[in-house]
Structure 1
Amino acid sequence: MRTLCYIGLVGLFAVQAHAQGRVTATTSTLRAAANEVFYIIIEASGGDIQDPDMEPVTAAGIHLDTPSVRSQTSIQMINGQTSTTQSRNWRYPASASREGSVTIPRISVMIDGQEYFTQPIALEITRALDLGAQAPGNTREVTTDDLAFVRMNTDKATLYQGEALTLTMQIYWMDGNVAVEGAPPFPETEGFYPGPEWRNNRTEYVDDRLYQVTEFIRILYPALSGDLTIGEWTWQGAVRWYDQRGRMKRTGRAFRAESIPVTVLPLPEQPANFSGAVGNFQIKAALAGTQLIQGTPVRLTVTLSGQGNPNTLGAPVLPELPWAHVSEPETTVQQHENSPEVVKEFGYLITPLETGENRIPPLNYVYFSPLTKQYETAQTQEFAVSVGGAEGAGSLVAVGGSATDQRNRIEVFDDGILPIITDPGILTHVSRDPGARPSPAAYVSPILPLAVFVCLTLLLRWRGRLASDRGYARRFFAAKRFEKTISDTQGTPDPVETLGRALRQYIADIFNINDAGLTSSDVETVLNKHGIDSDTTALAVRVLRACERAKYAGRASAAEEVHALHAATCNTVERLQATLREKRP
C-alpha cells in the first residue's frame, strides 16, 4: 500500500512538471529604456489552446500592441494510435513608461480545458538608452525624448486679415542610425485659407547634439478677424535606432507640439477702389507696341508681384478708352518655389477703333500694406500710341462712269471684252430662277461666324472663371480628383487611409473648405450646415469613422474590408452628387 502511494505522488509531480513545461514566456530583453519597445514571447503546446489572458500584464503598467501569432500542428502515430499536438506562439510588442523594476506577472493559458501559467519575469526599466558609441562623448545619457522630438512655430502672432502667415513644423531626430516612423498630418487650421507649402532638410545642434531636421512650411491666410488658433500638432509615430551591438531597437512615440494662438486684426475702412489684396506688391505694365493699326488688337500685360494671397489679387480696372475696345483679362499665376512670393499676370487685348494719336492712362492698384498699416497705391506708366488706318481701307471708288444713268447700263467695248456690270440689280435679276430655292448653306453661312464667336467667348469666360474662382474650380474637378485618388487604392500600402482621404477631399472640394485635419465630426457639421439630408450625412460619417478605426487598429485591413469600404465610399459620393443636383436651382 505504501509503495502505491509513493508511485502516485511521483506520478503527480511528473504531471505538474509536464504541465508547467507546456507554457513558457520569455522577453527579448531584460533591460529596456522607458517607452522602448520590447517583445513578450509566449509559447504553448497541447491540443485545444486558447489565447493567453494578458490583463494582469496591462494591469502591471505594461502597454501591449497587437501580437503576431504563429501556429504549428504535428501528428504522430505510435502502435496504431494517432496523437495530434498543436504549438502556438504569440509575440507581443510591449513597452513600459515607469522607470525602475517591473515584473511581468504569470500569464494564464487554457489548454485542453485546463489552466496553465507561465513564470513571472523581472525587467529593469531605465531612463537612458543603450546607444553605445552613438551617445555624444559617452558623457551624457540619452533618453527616448532626446532621440526625436517636434516643434511648431509661426513667424508672427498678430497680423491683419488676409496677411500671409508662415507656419513651420519641424521634426528633429538625432544624427546617426536613428529614424522616425509615421506620416505626420497637418494641424487643424480652421479660419485660415491654405496657401503654398514646401519642405526643407537641414542640420542643427541642440544641447551639443547634432540633429537632422525636416521642416514642413505652409503659408496661411486668415479669412476671419478675431482670435484664431492653429491646433496642436500631434501624431502617433515611432523611433528606430541601433544599440552598441548593432541590434535594432524601436519605441513608439506620441509626438506633440502645443497649439498656437493667433490674433487677427480687421482691415481699416476700405476705400472704394480697394482691390482686395493684402501684402506688399509691385505693379508694372508692358504694351506689345505703340504703333497700332486700326482694327488690329495689341496686348497689354499687367504684372502684379509680391507676397500675398494670389486668390485675392483682383484684375486691375483699366480706364475707359473711347477710341478702343478692351477685352476681358486672361489671368496666369506663378507661385515661386519654396517661397511665399507670387506673380500674377493679366493680359488685355486692346483693339483700336479710331485712327489718330491716343494714350493709355496709368493704372492704379490699391492694396493694404501690413508694413505701413495703411492702404497704398501702386501705379503703372502711361503709354502714348499712334493708330494708323488699315491697309486698303480707303474710300470706295465706283467703276463704270459717274453719271447716274450710265451706272445702270452694261457697256460692251468689243467682242473680246466682257461687259462691266455696274448695276447690282441686273446680277440679281439674271441669276434668279423663279423656281429655285436657297440652299441650307445660304441660311447657315451668315449665322456660323456669329455662333463660333459666341462659343469661343463662352469658352474663354469659362476658362477665366476656372482660373480666378477657386471654389468653382474645386467643385468642377472634385469628381475627377476623387476618381483618380480611389483608382490608386490598390497600389498604396494603406488603402483604407486612401479611401478616407479621397472622401474628405471630395467633400472639402465641393464646399471649398480646407481638408487638412478634417475629421468625421467636422464632416458631419459641414454637411448639416449645407442642408444635406440626414441619411447621406450619416452614411458619410459612418464611412469616415470606419476608416479612422481601421487606421488605429494596429493591423492591416482584410481584402473584404477594403472592398466593402471602397463600395461604401463610392456610394456616399454618388448620393452626395444626387443630393447636390436636386438642390441646384
Structure 2
Amino acid sequence: MKAQATAAAQADIVLGRTSFPVNDYFLISFRLRGAPLERYSPFPDIEGFKKSSKSSTTTTRIVGGQTSTELTITQRYAAYAEGEFELKPFSMTVNGLAVQSAGAKLQVLPQQAAPTAPPAGGAIQGLGLLDKLFGKPKPQEYIEPHDNAFLALVPDKTAVYVGEGVHVGLYFYLTPADQGLLSFYNFGGQLPDILQLMRQRTAWEEPFNEQEIVPETVVAGGKTYLRYRLYEAEYYPLNTQPLTFPEVPLQMVKYRVAKKPEAGLDNRMEGFKTYRTTARTITVKPLPPHPLRDQVPVGDYHLREAINRTTFRTGQAFMYSFTVEGEGNLAALAAPVPQVLAGVEVYGPDTELGITRQAGRVGGTKRFQYRLIARQPGVLALDSIFSLVIFNPTTARYDTLRAEVKPDVKGNASSAGSFTARPDDPFYREVLNSADNSLQPLDAYVDVKRYANYILLALALLAVFGWWRSGR
C-alpha cells in the first residue's frame, strides 16, 4: 500500500484476508503513526458488501526512553452472498495525508461455521432527505408534529470499584417515522460543551476513536429505533467520589409541517428543538482491605510470559517479557518492580502498550521486557523476582500474577562484578547480548598505557629532529 507522510506523521492502509467464508468479515484498516488522530475520510463502499462495526487499537512503545504511538482504525465489511468480488483501487485522507490502496480480488467462500450475528446497524447510512437544502416556503399554516426521539446517557454499570472501568455512551434515538422531521444541527460546534459536561475530574477517561455518526437499528421497549452514537468513553474512578453526569443538552433541527399541504411546495418549515439527557450518578466503592490497596491495578487480567533463549549460561544476558493481558486501565498499569535476588542482575524494562476499543469494551496488552544476567549456575526462579498483585472486580478478589518460567543456567559461577548501565546508552543495548564475559589480566590497561607513552615519545623526538633540520 502506498503512503504519504510528513516529517511528524505517517499513515498507510492495510487489507485483511482476501479469501474468507461468507459468515466472516473482510477488514480494511488504516494506521497512523507520529501524530494524534484529528480527522479521516470515510472508508470505501464495496459492491456486494455492507459496512458493519468499526474498532480502534492504540499501540504505545517505550524503548530506551523513546515513546512511539500507533493508532489503527478498522472497518468491517459483511458480504451479502458467496462469490468473487472486486475491491477497486481507492484512497483515503488521514490527518490531511493521502493514502492509497491498489485494491484486491475478494473471494467469499461458503459458510464454514455458525454465522456470527453482525452488530446492529449499518443498514442506513444517513438521514436521507433531511440533509438537503429547501427553498423558501410560501406563506402557509404550519404545525409541529409529535416526535418519539430522545437523548440518553447510558452507563453499563450503576456501581463500580475504585479503578474499575465503566462504559458511558451518549446516544440519540429516533423512530424511522421521525427521519423526515429531525436533522442534526451544528453538532461539531455543540460537541466541546457536551464533552465538558461529561468530563469527570476524579476519573481517568479513555475515549473511543469514532468520528462518523451513523445510525444503528435497535429495539427498545418493543419499539424499533435508529440510534446515533454521539460519544462514548470508558471511565476509571481514581477515588471513591461518585461519578456525576449532569443533564446534557443537544439542539436539533425539527421541521414543522404544513397544516394543508399544497402540491409543488415544500410543506415544511425549519425550526429547532433541544433534547436533554437524564442526570446520572455512578457509585464508586472502595477496594477491600489490603496492604497494597492504593497501588494495586484493577482489572480482569492474566499473565503471558516469553523468553528469548532456550539455553542459558552464567554471565550471558537474556530477555524476559512479563505481559499483562485483559480488560482494565492498562495505560495506568505500572511495571512490576523486580525483587533483588543474589547473583542476578535485572535491567529495564522497555514497555509496549496496545489498547483496543471495541463494542463498548476497552482491553489489550501491556508488555514489560527486562534484560537479565545470571551470575550463578542452577535453576533461576523468576517467580521470586517478578510478580504483580491485582484486584479482579468481577470476582471481587485480589490475585497475584507471578512468573512461572524457571530457566536452568549452566556454567561456572561468574566472579565478574555487577555494573550499572545507563538505559539510554546505545552501546550497552547493542553489545550486551554478544559481550565476552571472560576474565582479563588486571594489568592489561597498564601495558596499553606504557606502549602509548613509547609511541608519543618517539613522535616527540621525530618532531624535534625535523625542527632542527629545518633550522639549518
TM-score w.r.t. length of structure 2 = 0.51
2:183 to 173, 179, 182: 179
1:211 to 225, 228, 231: 225
When the two chains are superposed, the root-mean-square deviation of aligned CA atoms in Å is 3.9
1:386 to 399, 402, 409: 409
Shift of 1:337: 3.0
Q: 2:256 & 2:403 partners in 1: Cα distance?
A: 60
Q: 2:331 & 2:449 partners in 1: Cα distance?
A: 60
Shift of 1:188: 2.8
Q: State whether structure 2 residue 246 is matched by structure 1 residue 231.
A: yes
Q: Residue 455 of structure 2 aligns with which residue?
A: 431
One-letter amino acid matched to 2:253: A
Aligned ranges 1:543-582 → 2 under 5 Å: none
Q: Residue 189 of structure 1 aligns with which residue?
A: 199
Cα pair distance change 1:192/1:272, threshold 3 Å: closer
Cα pair distance change 1:239/1:288, threshold 3 Å: farther
Match of 2:340, SS state, is coil
Shift of 1:346: 0.7
User: Contact conserved, 2:352 with 2:367, CA < 8 A, in 1?
Assistant: yes
**Larger deviation, residues 174-183 vs 249-258:** 174-183
Larger radius of gyration: 1
Match of 2:404, SS state, is coil
1:346 to 359, 368, 387: 368
Q: 1:241 & 1:388 partners in 2: Cα distance?
A: 87
Cα pair distance change 1:205/1:375, threshold 3 Å: closer
Aligned ranges 1:96-135 → 2 under 5 Å: 126-128=143-145
One-letter amino acid matched to 1:193: W
One-letter amino acid matched to 2:153: M
Shift of 1:208: 7.0
Q: State whether structure 2 residue 170 is matched by structure 1 residue 169.
A: yes
One-letter amino acid matched to 1:189: R
Tell me the alpha carbon deviations over residues 102-147 of structure 1, each in whole angstroms, 9 at most, x when there is no partner.
Answer: xxxxxxxxxxxxxxxxxxx9x856453xxxxxxxxxxxxxx1x32x
Cα pair distance change 1:126/1:314, threshold 3 Å: same
User: Contact conserved, 1:189 with 1:231, CA < 8 A, in 2?
Assistant: no
Match of 1:152, SS state, is strand
Shift of 1:303: 0.8
Cα pair distance change 1:331/1:249, threshold 3 Å: farther
User: Contact conserved, 1:276 with 1:312, CA < 8 A, in 2?
Assistant: no
Tell me the alpha carbon deviations over residues 200-242 of structure 1, each in whole angstroms, 9 at most, x when there is no partner.
Answer: 7411245776432122321011122133311222132324699
Mark the runs of 5 or more structure 2 residues left unpaired by the alignment: 1-134, 413-433, 442-446, 462-472
Q: Residue 317 of structure 1 aligns with which residue?
A: 337
One-letter amino acid matched to 2:370: Y
Q: 1:312 & 1:285 partners in 2: Cα distance?
A: 20
One-letter amino acid matched to 1:351: I
The structure showing larger relative contact order (alpha-carbon pairs under 8 Å, at least 6 residues apart) is 2
Cα pair distance change 1:274/1:214, threshold 3 Å: same
Where is the helix percentage greater, Structure 1 or Structure 2?
1
User: Contact conserved, 1:234 with 1:256, CA < 8 A, in 2?
Assistant: yes
Match of 2:457, SS state, is coil
One-letter amino acid matched to 2:172: I
> Aligned pair count?
279
Q: 1:427 & 1:195 partners in 2: Cα distance?
A: 64
User: Contact conserved, 1:326 with 1:350, CA < 8 A, in 2?
Assistant: yes
Q: State whether structure 2 residue 387 is matched by structure 1 residue 364.
A: yes
Shift of 1:434: 8.4
Match of 2:242, SS state, is strand
Match of 1:340, SS state, is strand
Match of 2:341, SS state, is coil
Q: State whether structure 2 residue 160 is matched by structure 1 residue 159.
A: yes
Match of 1:226, SS state, is coil
Q: 2:407 & 2:450 partners in 1: Cα distance?
A: 50
One-letter amino acid matched to 2:286: P
Q: 2:435 & 2:142 partners in 1: Cα distance?
A: 94
